[in-house]
Amino acid sequence: MVLAAGLGLRMRPLTETTAKPLLRLDGRTLLDRALDRLEAVGVRQAVVNAHWHADQVAAAVAARRAPEIALQREEILLETGGGVARALPLLGDGPFAVVNGDSVWLDGPRQALLRMAAAFDPEQMDGLLLVVRSAQVDGEVGRGDFLLDPLGRVRRPKEREMAPYVFAGVQILSPALIQDVPDGPFSLNVLYNRAIDSGRLYALVHDGVWFHLSTPADLERAEAAMRAGLVRALF
């Protein structure tokens, strides 16, 4: 699933007339870049949700040949958790990937999604997140998102504690995680906390490049990096 329904408030004014996932980086939309990554690892079917400028998102997915896409229009913004919960009947019985529509990454020596698929153990995990070292992020990440134990289990930072990793917007989830969920809008963070409490949320550290794309300045920095060609040469 690709999450493409958000309002993109921090990316204004660019998102006043355009859905954030349809902004372009080095000539290609962020949404197409996410779908390209899924297609490259053999994903044949995907769900894309849409709310803000939903007609634009619908036109964009209709223009693609692959993967085969089911568009989920949300009249009320369901947030990340509500969107995934609504799409669950379309996502199959086993683990599935969820990618933020504005998440742009370049793979390291091996494709990140294949690394995650190989690492995902449904006996031990309800979720596996792709994370990036905070120190490697070009942009404001605050106190970071997560800390990891030696086995890769996730915990959140305590008060005044700095977290060395930020979430990259790519994850593999088990349908078992999407149980007993609230009706209507809710954040996936609710389910992350539940999985953290049971020791079943893990993370994998990305070994390539990830672009932090929250504000117009972030997009400008990423555009400059892509056009400079260095990240292409390395990854």
pLDDT for 192 equals 97
CA distance 164 to 140: 13
Q: What is the number of alpha carbons within 13 Å of residue 133 lying toward its C-beta? A: 5
Helices 54-62 and 30-40 cross at an angle (nearest 10°) of 40
19-41: per-residue pLDDT in tens? 999 999 999 999 999 999 999 99
Report DSSP state, residue 9: G
Could you tell me if 221 and 138 are in contact, meaning their C-beta atoms sit under 8 angstroms apart? yes
What confidence score (pLDDT) does residue 230 get? 58
Do 126 and 172 contact (CB within 8 A), yes or no?
Answer: no
What is the Cα Rg of the chain in Å? 17
CATH 3.30.750.210 fits domain 2-234: no
* Matching residue, tokens 């949700």: 49
At 70-113, the pLDDT tens digits run 999 999 999 999 999 999 999 988 999 999 999 999 999 999 99
Domain residue limits, the chain: 2-234
Tens of each residue's pLDDT in the chain, 235 residues = 999 999 999 999 999 999 999 999 999 999 999 999 999 999 999 999 999 999 999 999 999 999 999 999 999 999 999 999 999 999 988 999 999 999 999 999 999 999 999 999 999 999 999 999 988 887 677 788 899 999 999 999 998 888 899 999 999 999 999 999 988 999 999 999 999 999 999 999 999 999 989 999 999 988 888 888 755 545 4
Q: Is 93 exposed, middle or buried (0-12, 13-18, 19+ CB in 10 A)?
A: exposed
